[in-house]
Structure 1
Amino acid sequence: MNSTFRNAVRADVPLILTFIKELAAYEKMTDEVVATEALLEEWLFEQKKAEVIFALEGDCEVGFALFFHNFSTFLGRAGLYLEDLYVRPEYQGRGYGKAILSRLAQIAVERKCGRLEWWCLDWNQSSIDFYRGMGAEPMSDWTVYRIAGETLTQLGAPTAEE
């Protein structure tokens, strides 16, 4: 397999949302998808807060990755954070996942990033095995925390002191 890639453009917003919904179905998280085409267009193409690449078989998009820069104070430079990687089921097992990660590693190296990192669901043993097989190391000393929704709104509300 000779992988080719292309960067997403504004006209790809419906396709990006389709990939997100397919990934959510795979992860049994469909109810959590509130992204819309308008939101994706704003945050990906107007605010430029994340990027998307597609893996291609011929002219057909068979997988995608959505990623953005983070920053390591210890390294003193940016890294790449992979938010989502998804290969359509009928194309899995053909090397596209590895090719996408390799392409992201190339981008990280080209941009002089210090690392490439992502999260993986604990129950997704096939992905865990895949990532470990590529040399990725789990960050077992860390716990992910999240503030979202109403809690985020409340925490971010101006206080009387401001």
Structure 2
Amino acid sequence: MDGVPRLGPRTGGTGLMSITIRPAVAGDGATLTRMIRALAEHHGYEAHFSAQPEDYEKFLADPAAINGALIACWNGEPAGCATWQRSYSTFIGRETIYMEDISVLPDYRRKGIGSALLRAMARFVLDRGAPRLHWLLMAWNGEARRLYAEAGAVIEDGNCHCILEGEALERLAS
């Protein structure tokens, strides 16, 4: 994950904030599983969560992977993550980065970890020379909406996320 920022502890007006961010690497599959499972539970989607640590290990070990992750630590303990994948905008004619998820474990929320992950993703996108970071926002998630709006994100009305899978995917493909 060349170009992924490694952020050390940050000092704020109240003293030392112990947030560090690093690229996820092979061996972090169990950590990502725990964090993404917590996100699925927070969103009420635990029944749809089926990823296993080895699923994440596959892309973490693949030097040609089109996706990756950042891990945020609070006082050295994994506390959150951001997962991303390369995308392409036909309107722009360039590669963009799609942020699949930001997840912060419940015990670490409201400590600035989500904001730090979003800043690190912005740095990563610019370091790659990509013009855009984009993601899906669940309409009901007011906390995330506030975080993204404060960061300056444009939050579009009217767009929705469509999924084609299982029998419907097979039926359409036949």
| Equivalent position of 2:32 in the other structure | 16
| Equivalent position of 1:132 in the other structure | 149
Q: Does 1:4 align with 2:20?
A: yes
Among residues 75, 83, 86, which one is paired with 1:66 in the alignment? Answer: 83
Stretches of structure 1 that go unaligned for 5 or more consecutive residues are: 158-162
Superposition pairs of residues 1-162 of structure 1, within 5 angstroms: 1=17, 3-46=19-62, 48-157=65-174
Percent identity at matched positions? 28
Structure 1 residues 82 and 153, CA gap change in structure 2 (3 angstroms): same
| Equivalent position of 1:160 in the other structure | none
- Alignment partners' CA distance in 2, 1:77 and 1:37: 32
The TM-score normalised by the length of structure 2 is 0.83
SS class of match (2:28): helix
User: Do the aligned residues in 1 keep the contact of 2:24 with 2:68 (CA within 8 Å)?
Assistant: yes
The TM-score normalised by the length of structure 1 is 0.88
Q: 1:44 Cα deviation (Å)? A: 4.2
- Alignment partners' CA distance in 1, 2:47 and 2:160: 24
Q: 1:40 Cα deviation (Å)? A: 2.4
- Alignment partners' CA distance in 1, 2:172 and 2:58: 24
RCO (CA 8 Å, sep 6+): is it higher in 1 or 2? 2
Q: 1:154 Cα deviation (Å)? A: 2.5
SS class of match (1:11): coil
List structure 1 segments (4+ residues) > 4 angstroms apart after TM superposition. Answer: none
Stretches of structure 2 that go unaligned for 5 or more consecutive residues are: 1-16
Q: 1:45 Cα deviation (Å)? A: 3.0
Matching residue's letter, 1:17: T
Count of equivalent residues? 157
Alignment RMSD, CA only? 1.7
Moved more, 110-119 or 143-152: 143-152
Matching residue's letter, 2:35: F
Moved more, 138-147 or 17-26: 138-147
- Alignment partners' CA distance in 2, 1:82 and 1:32: 19
